[in-house]
Amino acid sequence: MSTKKEPKELAKQFYTVMYRMRRFEEEVFEFYKRGLMPGLAHLYLGEEAVAAGACVALREDDYIGSTHRGHGHLVARGADLDRMMAEILGKKTGYSKGKGGSMHIADMEKMNHLGANGIVGAGQPISAGSALASKIMGDDSVTVGCFGDGSTNEGSFHESLNMAAAWKLPLVWFIENNCYGVSTEIHRVTNTPDLASRAAAYGVPYAVVDGTDAIAVYEAMKVALDHARSGKGPYVVEAKVYRYQGHYCGDPAVYRPKEYMEHALANDGIEKLGRRLLESGAAQEELDAIRQDAEAEMDEAVKFADASPYPDPATVLDDMYVTDNERCVAR
């Protein structure tokens, strides 16, 4: 559960979460290059501050919906890295028993994670539906729906936001704007410098924040969550950030100008936060220890995933439907 912490303690928590994300994604990329990972992965490298700031702001009883580029949300929400890595490799011990892979990891038991989604914009109505369930059940939870810049041009964005505003649902929409929808620069297909400003058409408040600054993201999300939880309806937060890789593993990203990566690396969220911690009195040894712990954890996750068995093909139709979750069953 999100609790009030001293600024230095909070910054160390962000640094820990962000470095774990980066090392996880680097290991996923290694599996891909070795040909051991089925399908594709859309890496979160460069966007670590976004998920760290957003997810640390959540309470344990809040819900979150993710995207095809969703590994960071899971790590920041406290996922078991062994089970995550196993799922990436299609192993039986993974979160989705090896049947979902990179783009379809979910966990409703411990993380209230509504699942990643390979369909652009499909998570928007799902997150709105979760918020509607909270309002009907009166459980005081807020649902955060994460999605990228490209999906703000989908009809589901406008339809779901209109409904959420009309019904004052406890919903926060979190736009992760890395400037590119696949290979298309976002401002070639939109006429709004700030995508979150579209919320104003529905009478919904919004904020735009530097997505390379985990603390700024966290503070914006706390305001948004308090607004939604108080019964005032939805709130939209846009975090502007950079993705270091192409759209997917193996995409050379030749469509991006060299200045994009120059700006990205100059504003690396982990490096910026590390300098901020040192300037506030943290010792270099503290940061080194955080990195060493993450390295050891990642080594164990890789070993676990490598050693885990593949699922029995006979179970392919198991777990297709949910019937025992009261939020998912027609009431």
Residue 240 within a domain: yes
Residue 1 within a domain: no
Are the CB atoms for 101 and 87 separated by under 8 Å? yes
Q: Residue 47: is its pLDDT beyond 60?
A: yes
- pLDDT score for 324: 64
> Mean per-residue pLDDT for 170-198?
96
The 10s digit of each residue's pLDDT in 302-327 is: 999 999 999 999 998 888 876 666 66
Out of 10-14, 109-113, 291-295, which region has the weakest mean confidence (pLDDT)?
109-113
Residue type for 310, please?
Y
Residue 170 within a domain: yes
Give the separation between CA 132 and CA 136, rounded to whole angstroms: 6
- pLDDT score for 4: 59
Q: Residue 5: is its pLDDT beyond 70?
A: no
Give the separation between CA 126 and CA 314, rounded to whole angstroms: 30
Buried b (16+ CB within 10 A) or exposed e, 278-312: eeeebeeeebeebbeebeeebeebbebbeebeebe
- DSSP H helices, the chain, are 7-33, 48-56, 71-76, 81-88, 123-137, 155-166, 214-229, 258-266, 269-279, 284-307
The conformation of residue 309, written as its DSSP 8-state character, comes to P
Out of 81-95, 105-119, 164-178, 300-314, which region has the weakest mean confidence (pLDDT)?
105-119
> Mean per-residue pLDDT for 21-35?
95
Residue 331 within a domain: no
- What is the number of structural domains in the chain? 1
Closest listed residue to residue 304, CA positions, set 89, 36, 82, 74: 82
pLDDT band at 331 (very low <50, low <70, confident <90, very high): very low
Residue 318 within a domain: no
- Range of the structural domain that residue 278 is part of: 7-309
Task: Please give, one letter per residue, the 3-state secondary structure of 146-165.
Answer: EEEHHHHHCHHHHHHHHHHH
**Residue in the structure block whose two tokens are 């409703």:** 108
Stated pTM of the model: 0.93
Expressed in angstroms, the distance from the first to the final Cα of the chain is 28
Residue 24 half-sphere exposure toward CB, CA atoms < 13 A: 34
> Mean per-residue pLDDT for 218-235?
98
List the CATH number of the domain containing 63. Answer: 3.40.50.970
Q: Residue 17: is its pLDDT beyond 70?
A: yes
DSSP 291-308: HHHHHHHHHHHHHHHHHS
- pLDDT score for 183: 95
Residue 324 within a domain: no
Are the CB atoms for 181 and 246 separated by under 8 Å? no
Burial of 194 (0-12, 13-18, 19+ CB in 10 A): middle
Q: Write the CB contacts of 285 (distance below 8 Å, at least 6 apart in sequence).
A: none
Give the separation between CA 303 and CA 298, rounded to whole angstroms: 9
Q: Residue 329: is its pLDDT beyond 60?
A: no
Give the separation between CA 209 and CA 19, rounded to whole angstroms: 21
Residue 71 within a domain: yes
DSSP 8-52: HHHHHHHHHHHHHHHHHHHHHHHHHHTT-S-S-----TT-HHHHH
> Mean per-residue pLDDT for 287-310?
97
Residue 227 within a domain: yes
pLDDT band at 6 (very low <50, low <70, confident <90, very high): low
- pLDDT score for 327: 63
